[in-house]
Chain A
Amino acid sequence: MLRKVLVANRGEIALRIVRACRELGIGSVAIFSEADRDSTHVRVADEAFCVGPGPVPRSYLNVPNIISAALVSGCDAIHPGYGFLAENARFAEICADHGLKFIGPRPEIITAMGDKATAKRVMAEAGVATTPGTDILATVELAREAAESVGYPVLLKATAGGGGKGMRVVERPEDLERAFLGATAEAEASFKDGRVYMEKLIRDPRHIEVQVLADEHGEVVHLGERDCSIQKPSHQKLIEEAGAPNLSDRARARLHEMAVRACRHVGYSNAGTLEFLSSGDDVFFMEMNTRIQVEHPVTEMVYGIDLVKEQIRIASGEPLGYTQSDLEPRGHAIECRINAEDARNNFAPQAGKLGAVIFPGGPGIRIDTHIFSGASVPPYYDSMLAKVIAFANTREQAIARMERALRETLVDGVATTTEMCLEILGTEGFRNGVYDIGFLPRLLAQRVG
C-alpha cells in the first residue's frame, strides 16, 4: 500500500481525498495557494505546503512546486483529484520520472482519451457506438463534403475542446463556412489547437455516463450509470443522479457492456467515466474522463463503494478483489451542486466572505464541502461550494429527502444555486424523470419570457 499521498487539488475534492487517506492509514500532504491558507483541506491534512499565490497557473498548476512538495515531504504518490492537472498526461509522466505514482491511468491513455477525435476512433475500434461523424477536418471543403455525408444538422467540435469552446451547430449548408472558421479560430484561441471534427447533431439528448473501475491486473467492472442531463447553458452539470430514470433495460445493459469493453480494449486502469449521449434507445460514446468525477458520490451511495479509496488501492497495485457479479446497486441517489453563482444573472460566479453556513443532516444526507461559517470564497477558482447528496430506497423518496435537505441549507454572504436546484426538483419533468440536456436552458428561457 502507498505510504503518503500528496493531494494536488483544493476545495471539497482535496478534503475528500485526505479523508480517504486517513481511513486507509496513509499519510496525506495538502497543497494550497496563498488564497486558500485557511482552507479546510489544509487544516485536516497531516502536512501542508503553500505552492504559490492565488492565481491557478502560479499555484495549483505550478508543477515544479507541486512535485518538489511531494518529494521533500516524502510522498510516494500524487492524487490529482479532478480539474487542474488531473488529465494532464505530461504531469503524469513527470510524476513517474520522479518516482511518484500518479493515481490515475497511464499517461498514454490520458493522451489518447484527452484528444476527442482519437478517443472516438479508439472507441469505434473497440466496437463502442459513436456519434456518426468524422476525423479531423483540415479545410472548409472537406467539412462541406463531410456534412453532406453525415447529414444536417451537424456539430463542429474542437478536438482539444471542452466547455463548449470551439463548438458550432450548423443547421444549413450556407452556414457551414462561417461556423467552420469561427470554430477553428475559437479553438485556436482557447486551446492553441484549432483542429476541429464533425458529428451528427443529436437533438435534445440525455447525458448519461458510466463509472468504471479497473485494476492493474486486467479486472474491469462498471458501477452503473449516472444521469447528468441537468446542465447549465454552459454545459456544466448542476444535478446528477444514479441510476438514470426511465432508461430501458436494453439501453442500460448496452451502456454498461460498452464501457467495460472499451476499458478492456485500451488497457485502462484506475477510476474512469465514459460519457454517452442517449436518445431513445440509441446511445453514442461522447468522451472518456480519465479521473474521478465531481458527481462520484451518487455512485458511491448506491454501490456502497468508496471510489477514492479504490483509486488509491488500485494505484498501490492491489487487485480489485471482486467481480461484476459481486456488485449490486441499491436505492437511488441524487446530488445537487451548491455553487457560489447567481442563477438569476446567468450563473455569474460570486466571491467574498461567507456569513453563517449551515448544512443539513439527518437520514440519507451526505454533504461534501470544504466551506464553513466565515470562510472566504476566493475569486480565482471554480465556484462550487458544496455537494448535497440524498440517498433513499426509491427515486421519489430521494427527491423528497433532497428537497428537505436543501430547505435546511443556509449559505449567507453569496448568491448560491440552492434555490435553482429546488426549483428544478419541483418541476413535473424532473419528478417524472423526463428531461434532457436542454431541460434547464428551456426552464431559464421560460422564466425570462
Chain B
Amino acid sequence: MPYYLRKRIIDIIISIIMLIFLGLTLLPVGWMIFSSLKSSSDIAIGRVGLSRNLTGQVEVHWDNYVDMWKNVNFGLYLKNSLIICGSTMFLAMILSTLAAYALSRFKFPGSDLFSNTILATQMIPAIMYLIPLYIMFVKFTIMTGIPIKGTYLGLILIYSAFFVPFSIWILRGFFASIPKELEEAARIDGCSPLQVFWYIALPLAKPGIIATGIYLFLQAWDELMFAWVLTNGDTMTIPVGIRLFVGNYQNRFDLMMAAATVATIPVVVLFFMLQKHIVRGLTAGAVKG
C-alpha cells in the first residue's frame, strides 16, 4: 500500500474515533435535556424512553419547563444568582484590572511579595475561610444588628475577594502582551500615568478584560459552598435552591433536570459568544510557562 494512502486511511480512522468520542462526551448533556422532558413517574420507575398516553402518542413533557418556576421559587434563585454574579463580576474586575496593570507595568518594592501572595491564596482550602467568615458574620450581626449573612452584599464582597487573585493572574498576561512602546510614546507626548492607563492600556486590553470578566461570572455562577452557608431563603442562589426539587417532600427529578438545563443555558451562551477570547486568555499564561 502506498504511503499516502496508508496515511489517509489512518487519518480517517482517527477521525471516526474522534467523532465517536465527541458523541460520548455530549451524551450526558443530551441525557439531561432528555430527562427534563420525561414525566416524574417515568424517572421514578426507571423507564428509559418517553411514555405514551392512552391514544398511543409519545408524551413530551414540555410543561416541566413551566412547572419548574412554580414548584420551587426558581425565578427568585435565578434573579439572586444574576444579581450576585453580575455585581461580583463588576467589582472584582475593577479591582483586578487595576492590580494586574500595576503588576505588569511597574516593578515596585513589594511587587514580588504581592504577586506571590496572590498565587499562594490558591492553595488555601475554601472551608478555611468559610468557618471564620461565617462566625464573623454571625457575631457582627449580633453585635451591631446589621445583617450580613443572608444579604447580597456579604456574598458579593466575599466572591469578589475570592475570584480576584485568579483574574489578576489571567489579566496580567493580557496587559503584558500590549506593547510597552505605545504607552511610552503617550508618556512622551505628555500624558499622565493615569491617562495612559485610561486612554491607551484599557482600550487595548478590553477584549481580555471582557473575557476575564465572563470567566469570573462563570466561576461565581458555579459556587456552592459559600452560598449554601451564607444565604437564606430570600437570597439563595441557583446551586442552593436547585436542591429543593428533591428532598423530604418531593422527588421531582424531571423538574430538577429542567432547572439544571435552564441554569446551564446562560453559561453556554456567554461562553460561546466569547469563546475565542476566553481560550486565548486562559492558555496564554500556561504556554508561556
Verify that A and B bind, or say they do not: no
By a beta-carbon cutoff of 8 Å, the part of chain B in contact with chain A is none
